[in-house]
Chains A and B, each alone.
Chain A
């Protein structure tokens, strides 16, 4: 069962996400990179946990958002600087990294809470975390795509977009460790809903 959860959920996420994306090969490669980065985030967070005096609320609201967003931004930045700074490609790969990271993290968290987890909690956790991680990385990717050709804007603009993603991530984490957990899961969904409605209901092009 744990093996099933840890592998089936991310792969199912990849298949569902790939259905909506045109450049499937590019998406798949960066989705796998996102999965690997999530596994790398574990030891990094462990080091941070020990360095902050094993204070879990402080760790999840302040340190892990910075470390995880840095890890997720690294391949996007590499792609923009070395391979191709084209905006559409950057949006696809950043979304892929974010969703790979999110599905793997959700699967691991579900495995850790296997005894106490309910189906409703698992569904909300999966949806909330997936949307949050994907939108954070996609927003950074989109911002980099927007400013990558303007060298004077690139460094500060990338830093500013990264800061925005960190704050959004930290807010989500602060909510899910509190008694307002359910609002935490709904926050990313509520934020992404107007964009989806605009995109699909009104048929507006990106």
Chain B
């Protein structure tokens, strides 16, 4: 239980840092809706971790059941998916045949991520817990499709793709770390879960500063 408490507190701290920093920057400077949605994603992640911490402190079970804290990751990756799908993808991909290979590659890789993450948690935990992990993997894979696509697709005029590549790579790594963490949790690997929280924290804390740098380069 101490390992879960440590990992969730660390992720919560990093997500709160990202949210507060993001809100301050969004308020002081002219930031696009894309950035605001990323901040909302970080807020969702902070809320989810906060809920898990409260559950552990109040002795409500967090293992072997579907717990609401998992929804924090689902919400966060839904926001990241939504920001890429609704704001950037139309600028980047004109649905032409020339871009089909990038769409197919991104689709295949995100499907592979989904299948492997489901296989990693399948049959190793209670049905409720597995349901939570599958929801999480689904949202991570949906966000990963656009992250991978925007990493490999050639840049357009204006350079939006190359400016956001760093942010997309970070979100993709965050998703992978979440998947690894869920797989470790489903097999009672609590120490590994706490260990995986360290890179996840660094990625979460770096998420908004990297995005801000990209947005600044884009607007220049």
Residues of A within 8 A of B (CB): 57-58, 61-62, 65-66, 150, 152-153, 156-157, 159-160, 163-164, 166-168, 170-171, 174-175, 177-180
Contacts and interface: CB of A to CB of B under 8 A. Distances in A.
A65 B71 CA distance: 12
B40 A167 contact: no
6 contacts: A153-B86, A163-B74, A167-B72, A167-B75, A179-B58, A180-B57
Given A156-B85, A167-B71, A167-B72, A61 B60 contact: yes
A65 B68 contact: yes
A62 B65 contact: yes
Interface string B14-37: 000000000000000000000001
B150 interface: no
Given A163-B72, A167-B75, A171-B51, 14 more contacts: A58-B60, A58-B65, A62-B67, A66-B68, A150-B86, A152-B82, A157-B79, A160-B40, A160-B75, A163-B44, A164-B43, A167-B72, A174-B58, A178-B60
A128 B47 CA distance: 18
B148 interface: no
Interface of B: 37, 40-41, 43-44, 47-48, 50-51, 54-55, 57-61, 65-69, 71-72, 74-76, 78-79, 81-82, 85-87, 90
A48 to B, nearest CB: 13
A178 B60 CA distance: 9
A167 B79 CA distance: 15
Dominant secondary structure at the A interface = helix
Contacts of B59: 178
B75 to A, nearest CB: 3
A17 to B, nearest CB: 26
A164 B85 CA distance: 20
